[in-house]
Amino acid sequence: MITVQSLQHTFIIGKKGQEKKVEVLKDINFRIEQGEIVAIVGKSGSGKSTLLQTIAGFMKPDSGSIIVNNTEIAGFTEKQSTAFRLDHFGFIFQNFQLLSSQTVFENVELPLKLKGISPAIRKKKVSEILTKVELAGVADHYPNELSGGQQQRVSIARAMITNPPIILADEPTGSLDSQTEKEILTLIQQLNEQDNITFIIITHDEEVASIADRKFRMADGVLVGGMAHVI
């Protein structure tokens, strides 16, 4: 499903003439199978979010290989990465990243619009997914009219609307209280079981990581653990 080999990335920091290289990803190797929930656990600055961004194609690594569904994506152009993301990935963020001027329905509908899906099909798909995440009654509401848990459910619905095989979640419960966190984690588990969606979850929270089938730990750009599928 996803194979990462010898992945390396370096940031250049500091003023001109005083630049310093910082290795953020150091020889990262792992494999994730379809339908797994995998957690990547680490402190802020460990490199875990950079790893997620390279897998998603938002950032191009210095070297190494990223293969998703038998397609090498590390060398994609920006245009190729954008098209590939739309077909293969859904995203869940800590701060939800919903459009405040758009209704719940319109926020969830957006990826389908980008894919050129007809209005009739969009309406049917959005209605179905909002029912699935228990938000059918707030389709016409705006994000600021919802609780944090409801906003994250909207984010999850938007991530799922194109039926992606993989969802990348960056601190998906970081802005939520403990009870709402449990509800969102239960929802993620249900979606994983029902639809065989692969989840890669970036987190510093052991409670969040506890729902994963496998858990990697990241520190200073080095990834360890994960049991059987580390290459």
Question: Which tokens hold the place of 17?
Answer: 């003439």
Please report the pLDDT score of residue 15 as a whole number. 80
pLDDT of residue 230: 52
Residue 106 to residue 92: CA distance in whole angstroms: 17
Q: Cα separation of 130 and 122, whole Å? A: 12
Burial of 79 (0-12, 13-18, 19+ CB in 10 A): exposed
pLDDT for res 109? 97
pLDDT along the chain (231 residues), means of 10: 94 82 92 95 92 94 95 94 94 92 97 94 96 94 95 95 95 91 93 94 93 94 71 46
Distance CA 205, CA 221 (A): 18
CATH code assigned to 2-229: 3.40.50.300
**pTM, full prediction:** 0.90
pLDDT value, residue 226: 64
Q: Are strands 89-93 and 166-170 parallel, antiparallel or unpaired?
A: parallel
